[in-house]
Amino acid sequence: MKRNIVIATVAAAALIGGGTATAFAVGGDDDSAANRSSVQLKDHDRGDDDGKDDDRDDAAENTAEAKAAKVTAADAIKAALADTKGTAVSAELDDEDGGLVWDVDLLNGKTWHSVEVDAGTGKVLGSWTEKDDDGDDAADAARVNSALKGATVGAADAAKAGADKGTVTSVDLDDDGTATAWNVETTGAKGAESEYDVDLKTGKVTADHSDDHADHDDQDDNDTDGSDD
């Protein structure tokens, strides 16, 4: 359940008079952390975005990112937990303007944290307390804590299980109030993406075909629309 983030670090700046200034940071991920990543992808590394074949461009980008990352999802989660106390809820390999990082979300009680980990070295580049832009932090936290109650398989365990299927690029708690699994995204040798569910209690890995069903429904809708013309 990757969350839309608004990071609000309230500044008490005294620019005149020698005080210490703390900058406002409002938005999503911190670009400065990505800029410090040891893995900087160039446009040609990620494939040419010529607009003619989006699937091809996406596959090339997925392949480049997966190959460039030297740190696994499981290791990134481990590094984040060593830096910030909490329970890992998600981890995503993220290319921010060329800087490759693992963005790991942690939950400690009712407080959300975002930790960015260098995808090349495993070094923590930054960590922030998060605030959800819809103001539902407490409700989100309660839902996640309820889903993880009694779970024996954590995000890092799910990442390790998914690694048997391909290079893991994302681990996320299934975005459902009655979540029973981790959703793991992998990238194959040719950039093809696959999704798997890892059971929270048993660790059993099964293919996730929910997107296939959605694509099929979209195709049915398009066919229906076309027949009405």
Cα-trace Rg, the chain: 19
Q: Of 133 and 153, which is predicted with more confidence?
A: 153
- For residue 154, the Cα-to-chain-centroid distance in whole angstroms is 15
Q: How many CA atoms lie within 13 A of 120 on its CB side?
A: 13
How crowded is residue 43: how many other Cβ atoms within 10 Å of its Cβ?
9
**Residue range 84-102, pLDDT digits in tens:** 999 999 999 998 778 999 9
The full set of domain ranges for the chain reads 5-228
What number of H helices and E strands is found in the chain?
A: 6, 9
CA angle 195, 200, 202 (to 5 degrees): 100
**Residue range 173-224, pLDDT digits in tens:** 986 656 889 999 999 876 678 999 999 999 999 998 765 544 444 444 455 4
Amino acid 132: pLDDT:
65
**Residue range 170-179, pLDDT digits in tens:** 999 986 656 8
Amino acid 131: pLDDT:
75
